[in-house]
Amino acid sequence: MRPFTYERADSPAAAAAAVERRPGAKFIAGGTNLLDLMKLEIETPAHLIDVNGLKLDTVEATPDGGLRIGALVRNTALAADQRVRRDYGVLSRALLAGASGQLRNKATTAGNLLQRTRCPYFYDTNQPCNKRQPGSGCAAIGGYSRPLAVVGSSDACIATHPSDMAVAMRALDATVETVRADGTTRKIPIAEFHRLPGDTPHIETALVPGELITAVTLPKPVGGTHVYRKVRDRASYAFALVSVAAVVQRDGSGRVAVGGVAHKPWRVEAAEGEMPRGAKAVTSGLLADAKPTHDNAFKLTLVERTLASVLAEAKG
């Protein structure tokens, strides 16, 4: 770990300005991802701005009937929120499928969206990794790629985004609200928030340096049956091989987002029209351009079978 300095910010705009002022500065929220990466020198910020005191830790109703989730709301609190449990069940279930109780007590909404990949080569600083060290190459391609991406990947990077929460938010059409150093704010649809790796896998989101997430908003509830199914090698405390977040209406229409398959939560709206026709039809649209490796081709079958099971469950 590299030595670093530390300060507490007292307003969102001041926090953003503080990061912009110091090259190599980063926000720290729950620290459950950032600190681990700092210990391994995968992240080497010279300065940390603690955002825990910014009072961005409430969940509030929005005028249009949705919810505004503060960036610092803990995963445990969000999963337990009555409105989330009632109207956005897929989000509550996705949160509870992630990490462990202790981690969820610390993990924040913004931190969860920004957690970095679990590609094992990213975690080993002896190995080339374009995400960790741009231009160094990608050790995962041609190596051990079982957990990695099958769709939307590039010749530079085949990593996945590991979040469960983000997959549910993608299905719910969430919006990420931010503030920049100059005090301007913007709203980024979650579909545009995470990026595909392309040839710059180190640039993972639409955020610009210093831009602080203040909240995530959910549009008004869409009803339907909410299912989150996470498939993994052990029963708990493991990242998804694949996961499916689905909101299914009575007539069989609905929405599906998939985790564990791409550099971002994966959703193809055009494929959702096929939902009444079943999992196979949806999956062929959802994973149309898939380029799996030998090790992870099973994920294509797994997505389809898991989705079939989810749709059967939603039907009841």
| Contacting residues toward another protein, per CB under 8 A | 1-3, 39-41, 118, 120-121, 123-124, 126-127, 139, 142-144, 146, 229, 231-239, 241, 279, 296, 298, 301-302, 304-306, 308-309, 312
- Using CA atoms, how far apart are residues 181 and 105, in angstroms rounded to an integer? 29
List the single partner that 294 binds among ligand FAD, another protein, ligand SF4, none, CB under 5 to 8 Å by kind: none
Stretch near ligand FAD under the rule CB under 6 A, chosen from 25-33, 59-67, 217-225, 267-275: 25-33
158 binds ligand SF4 (CB under 6 A): yes
Q: Give the nearer residue to another protein in terms of CB position, either 88 or 239.
A: 239
**Which of these, 220, 167, 38, 29, lies nearest to 109 by C-alpha position?**
29
Output the CA–CA distances (angstroms, integers) from residue 166 to 58, 110, 116, 124, 194, in the order listed. Answer: 18, 10, 12, 25, 10
List the single partner that 130 binds among ligand FAD, another protein, ligand SF4, none, CB under 5 to 8 Å by kind: ligand SF4
Q: Give the nearer residue to ligand SF4 in terms of CB position, either 131 or 267.
A: 131
Which string of DSSP letters, residue by residue, matches 101-122? HHHHHH-BHHHHHHPPP--TTT
Q: What residues between 202 and 261 interact with ligand FAD by CB under 6 A?
A: 212-213, 239
Q: Rounded to the nearest whole angstrom, what is the least distance from the CB of residue 283 to ligand SF4 in the complex?
A: 23
- Using CA atoms, how far apart are residues 63 and 65, in angstroms rounded to an integer? 5
Q: Rounded to the nearest whole angstrom, what is the least distance from the CB of residue 135 to ligand SF4 in the complex?
A: 10
Q: Give the nearer residue to another protein in terms of CB position, either 25 or 42.
A: 42
CB 75 within 8 A of CB 95: yes
Q: From the CB of residue 135, how many other CB atoms can be counted at a distance below 10 Å?
A: 9
List the single partner that 41 binds among ligand SF4, another protein, ligand FAD, none, CB under 5 to 8 Å by kind: another protein
Q: Give the nearer residue to another protein in terms of CB position, either 175 or 296.
A: 296
The residue from 98, 201, 210, 224 that contacts ligand SF4 (CB under 6 A) is 201
- Using CA atoms, how far apart are residues 122 and 54, in angstroms rounded to an integer? 31
Which string of DSSP letters, residue by residue, matches 167-210? HHHHHTT-EEEEE-TTS-EEEEEHHHHB---TT-TT--BSPPTT
CA 208, 214, 220, 223 dihedral sign is positive
Closest residue to ligand FAD, based on beta-carbon distance:
111
**Which of these, 112, 204, 115, lies nearest to 154 by C-alpha position?**
204
The residue from 9, 32, 70, 160 that contacts ligand FAD (CB under 6 A) is 32
Q: Give the nearer residue to another protein in terms of CB position, either 140 or 174.
A: 140
Helix (H) or strand (E) holding 77: helix 75-80
**Which of these, 50, 42, 84, lies nearest to 221 by C-alpha position?**
84
- Using CA atoms, how far apart are residues 103 and 223, in angstroms rounded to an integer? 30
Q: What residues between 122 and 141 interact with ligand SF4 by CB under 6 A?
A: 122, 129-131, 138-140
Binding site for ligand FAD (CB under 6 A): 26-34, 36, 51, 71, 98-99, 103, 106-108, 110-112, 114-115, 162-165, 212-213, 239
